[in-house]
Structure 1
Amino acid sequence: MSRAGHTIKAALLQVHSIAGLVLALLLALIALTGAVMSFEDEILDHLNADIMHVAPRPASALMPDELVARLKAAQDAGKVSAVALSSDPSAAVRVRFGRDEQGARPSSLYVDPYDARVLGSPRGEEFFATVRRLHRWLLIPGDAKGWGRQVTGVAALGLIVMLISGLVLRWPRRAGSVKMWLKPNLGLSGRGLHRSLHAVIGTWVFPVYLLMTLTGLWYSFDWYKDGVVWLLSRPHVAAAKMQPKMSAKPPREAGRIEAQAIGFDQAWTTFRREEGGHFSKALLTLPAGAGTAIRIRSWSKETTLDTSRDEFRIDAVSGQLVSAERYADKSFGEKIIANMLDIHRGAILGWPGKLAFMIAAALMPLFSVTGVLLYLSRRRLRRPAQPPLGRLVPGE
């Protein structure tokens, strides 16, 4: 290798080592929390199987507003912010609540759709909510509005630097040899074993880490999100998504709207008329501020992905359909944007993808440990050897 090549590799090794030492613990924490959440849906469904279903009855299920009214009459659980309804007559209704004055959000409830009887709070919900906040925002106050999302974004950028520099440093002389790329030398010990594990297993997980990082940046930086939208969306869709959010109603009307009780029934009736029996489940969310447009996210019976959904906005007072964004009408690039979360966690490939991504994430501490050990061993090798005391000449 030429002198210039040695200089470049030495510089890349410095960059790789410094980035790894600075970000090792943070990346291990983010990766491990991501691994914990890999099968969150399956775990929660198993833990709460006894409260998620009811015996179907001949009587019609209650309308959402009647269900909420009966729930409030039975107990003071807080202000309802959303209800999750299903076309399955045996599925319970999930009621979610808004934050209280202290900023805390009460646990959601599963409710019998026929008589509004409370079946219970989902077990494990608070645990996974905490893990999610740790994974995305490191439990830093402010959540998505705080600076925790920027910290995780910087960590993701650092991981990209380490992935690219590591690939260059790892590039073998026999690049066409599959064995050199993918087979660790377990017969070694000490520094040799650490280097083999760090390099070879890093090659295994390289594409997974790169995909995780590129999709994870979507949630950290608005400039990155806007760039992806511009790149993958049709021009008019990208322009609409990049417009700043405006209040749905003039300021004078805001006070009257806030005082007005907004219900779910009108929107629910319109939604069922639009969708018929094609949906499997729907989440109806009340507007967070001034306005009367209820957002309804709908999943078809054919989809297995959480992000492959239709989205409607329906006026809660008049029942008028304000907008409809159907997944089937999206372009290929827009479907990538819609499925960003499922791509990030490997769910786009089904349960084998989720398993592969979980294992890759769980291996992150291996790179932290072996990377630190390799750095310390290089420091020892570079340290000049001290002459034995017995061989010192008097006066030296």
Structure 2
Amino acid sequence: MALRLPSLKTALFQTHWFLGITAGMVLMVVGVTGGLLSFQDEIMRALNPGVLTVAPRPEPRPAPAELIRRIEDGSGARVLALNLAASPGRAVRATVSPPGAPPQEGGGGRPPRGEPRYADPWTGALLGAPTGDGFFRTTRELHRWLLAGQEGKVVVGVSTIALVFLSLSGLYLRWPRRALNLRTWFHISPRLRGRALNWRLHSVIGTWVLPLYVLMGLTGLFWSFDWYRNALFDLTGAPRPAQAGPPRVEAPPRVETPPRVEGAPREGAGGASRGERGPRPAPVDIDRAWAAFLRERPDYGTASLRIPSPGQPLRITYVDADPAHEDARNTIAIDAADRVVEHRRYDDQPLAHQLMGSMLALHSGRYFGTVVTVLMMIASLIMPLFGITGIILYLDRRRAKRAAAGRPRRRVAAQAAE
């Protein structure tokens, strides 16, 4: 007997409902938490006047080096990075070394991950911990890896692939006979009840949010899988973050050591130490480098500078006063001689490179403006609608199948009784 394979529509339908009742459980959590994160910055500023925002003052703000000194005196920790805003009403965000962290040395070692502190931009006084920070941190970890580390990250990644499949297969499965009739695509009758209502909610609203879900899925995979992220970098030719790091500092020219004369003192015994290779490289003067940055870009919006190791330039990542979006970041590097050794402008990059640098803005919708961000938030928050209606439709279908299978048995039993 020949094996009969299911049709494409049947196979897609079976896969659709299976992923819906499995990965759909994860997607409901990921969707709601993503919606809650959509306007995190705005909510945090509204909840924390006096911590994230300050009252402007007429006197000029101190230079970055003095501000760093005051923050270090107040926190008892070393400042690793500083985020400054051109707006006088925004607090300074300082990243300080965690307790017990070793001092940062020169070379290629990775700097320690710091802890955020907020400070007054005039006095450097610490402003306390912002309300809601713990809630949003937990929400973000739940959104990205279900509070389950690497295993949760993989589960979220697989579920994100399922989201793209569910969106596209759902469009195929509900494709109407009268495809040009807009009412078929977008109308939900208020008179519908029961299974018919659940089906219309699932299919029609699913059509509305389909492009948003596909965008969420394709951009969300950027953080889930290395192979996907690397493939995007290879496809676009955009520099990877490691390639976009500090400019390489050339090693000083090697000095040949003359042959030792018999009887002359050995190195380390009255002579130069064996490990000594010349004077240490001059560190960057933070204030002079900041002044060079202001000469180059006086109209910045926000700027983040990381304290460099000796011999490394000061790198400042900044956003213009009127950026294309909040993640349209530019990078400038200034060496110890106050020279601009590198300046990468967002607007000067190819479109593919801009998109790779704007992945979070694409994922949240901020790349397209406030209206699309709001739509992405709503689409995320209603993701449980599709899980719930899908499960109800699945259970209704199973109930109908069991009822249909029971009718012939009851008919045979009735005939036998006669």
Q: Which residue does 2:177 correspond to in 1?
A: 173
| Distance in 2, Cα, partners of 1:19 & 1:214 | 17
Q: Does 1:321 align with 2:322?
A: no
Q: Which residue does 1:38 correspond to in 2?
A: 38
The structure richer in helix per residue is: 1
- The 1:54/1:363 distance shift into structure 2, 3 A limit, reads same
Q: Which residue does 2:22 correspond to in 1?
A: 22
Shift of 1:329: 0.7
Give structure 2 stretches of 5+ with no counterpart.
102-111, 252-274
Indicate conservation of the 8 Å contact 1:345/1:357, yes or no: yes
Please list, as runs of the form range in 1=range in 2, the aligned pairs for 1:1-396 lying within 5 A after superposition: 7-51=7-51, 52-58=53-59, 60-76=60-76, 78-100=77-99, 108-141=116-149, 146-233=150-237, 238=238, 264-275=286-297, 277-286=298-307, 292-303=312-323, 305-315=325-335, 319-383=338-402, 384-385=405-406, 387=409
Identity of aligned residues (%): 35
- The 1:309/1:243 distance shift into structure 2, 3 A limit, reads closer
Equivalent AA in structure 1 for residue 392 of structure 2: L
Shift of 1:110: 2.6
| Distance in 2, Cα, partners of 1:381 & 1:262 | 75
- The 1:291/1:366 distance shift into structure 2, 3 A limit, reads farther
| Distance in 2, Cα, partners of 1:390 & 1:19 | 37
Equivalent AA in structure 1 for residue 180 of structure 2: G
Shift of 1:115: 2.2
Indicate conservation of the 8 Å contact 2:82/2:306, yes or no: yes
| Distance in 1, Cα, partners of 2:303 & 2:132 | 22
Shift of 1:334: 2.2
- The 1:221/1:194 distance shift into structure 2, 3 A limit, reads same
Residues 304-339 of structure 1: per-residue CA shift (max 9 Å, x gap) = 621112112344x55443422101211222222222
RMSD between aligned alpha carbons? 3.6
Shift of 1:161: 1.3
Indicate conservation of the 8 Å contact 2:44/2:130, yes or no: yes
- The 1:169/1:68 distance shift into structure 2, 3 A limit, reads same
Residues 167-209 of structure 1: per-residue CA shift (max 9 Å, x gap) = 1111111111111111124423222221111111101110111
- The 1:139/1:323 distance shift into structure 2, 3 A limit, reads farther
TM superposition score normalised by structure 1:
0.82
User: Larger C-alpha radius of gyration, 1 or 2?
Assistant: 2
Secondary structure of 2:301's partner? strand
Greater Cα offset, 154-163 or 342-351: 342-351
TM superposition score normalised by structure 2:
0.78
| Distance in 2, Cα, partners of 1:27 & 1:223 | 22
Give structure 1 stretches of 5+ with no counterpart.
none
Secondary structure of 2:31's partner? helix
